[in-house]
Amino acid sequence: MTTIMNSFKPHEKRIARKIKETTDIFTIEIDMESNSYPGQFYELSILGIGEAPISAASSSSEKLKFTIRSIGHVTSKIFEQDVIGVRGPYGNYWPFKEYDRILAIAGGIGIPPIRALIHELEGKKDLWVIYGARTPSDLVYKYEFDQWRNKANLILTVDRGDESWNGKVGLVTKYIPEIPDLKNMAAFLIGPPIMMENSVKDLLKYGLQPENIFLSLERRMECGFGVCGHCNVGHFYVCEDGPIFRYSEVSNLPELFL
């Protein structure tokens, strides 16, 4: 596909909308078309501070959106900005065009690329989504859940409920057996390493083939263009070779889920 900005020079773009999702997670909408596919990332920068690789939370037909945890020297400052530097999209994306039935499993802040997938497919394929968070207050996009249910089969779960929660409780793996005809699907996984590792074990146990399991290793990225070495996994660099990897291609790497 054609990228918006295929250079190392950031383009200044206005932040058109800001949403506070949780105490430390926020969503911003950029005043430009997304033109990226679910799973790809952009480099977001603040002049004089630095830049960070962030996966898009938007489909190819939406305004560009990012959902970010305020944790680093760049991400902690983005919400305060009115204009930021943007370049991308970069990387590969979920192979959603190749499959008619898809199970997407996301944990915590791993949900943005799956949000992009839900909006990209618009109910045109048999999409199942299991999204888990630690507590109800850690769930993001609560205002979109009803809309998602019109586009996908949505399973929401939390590790610990509270007095306001009347939904499912437990790890995402608890609900994998609820997916019908699982062995004939593709699975897209993103989230904490332990979540992905346990999900892979269960998916294999229920008959899904390794070549039909795809992992996003985006959380390992730091510089975003293969210099720092932080995202090195075996002979792969996540930012250059991914961030989406077929499990059958990386399953023998001992550091995969570190």
Cα separations (Å) of 49 from 44, 81, 135?
11, 12, 32
pLDDT digits (tens, 9 = 90+) for 210-222: 999 999 999 999 8
Residue 59 neighbours by CB distance under 10 Å: 19
- CATH T-level fold of 11-90: Elongation Factor Tu (Ef-tu); domain 3 (2.40.30)
The predicted pLDDT at position 8 comes to 76
The ranges assigned to domains in the chain are: 11-90, 96-250
The predicted pLDDT at position 95 comes to 98
* Architecture in CATH for domain 96-250: 3-Layer(aba) Sandwich (3.40)
The predicted pLDDT at position 205 comes to 97
Are 11-90 and 96-250 the same fold in CATH?
Answer: no
The H or E element spanning position 25 is strand 25-33
Average model confidence (pLDDT) for the chain? 95
Strand 236-237 versus strand 232-233 pairing type = antiparallel
Q: Which residue has the tokens 């199970």?
A: 103
Cβ contacts of residue 227 below 8 Å, gap of 6+? none
Give the whole-angstrom CA distance, residue 128 versus residue 101: 8
- Asked if pLDDT for residue 4 goes beyond 50, the answer is no
What length does the chain have?
A: 258
Give the whole-angstrom CA distance, residue 201 versus residue 186: 15
pLDDT digits (tens, 9 = 90+) for 90-116: 999 999 999 999 999 999 999 999 999
pLDDT digits (tens, 9 = 90+) for 151-184: 999 999 999 999 999 999 999 999 999 999 999 9
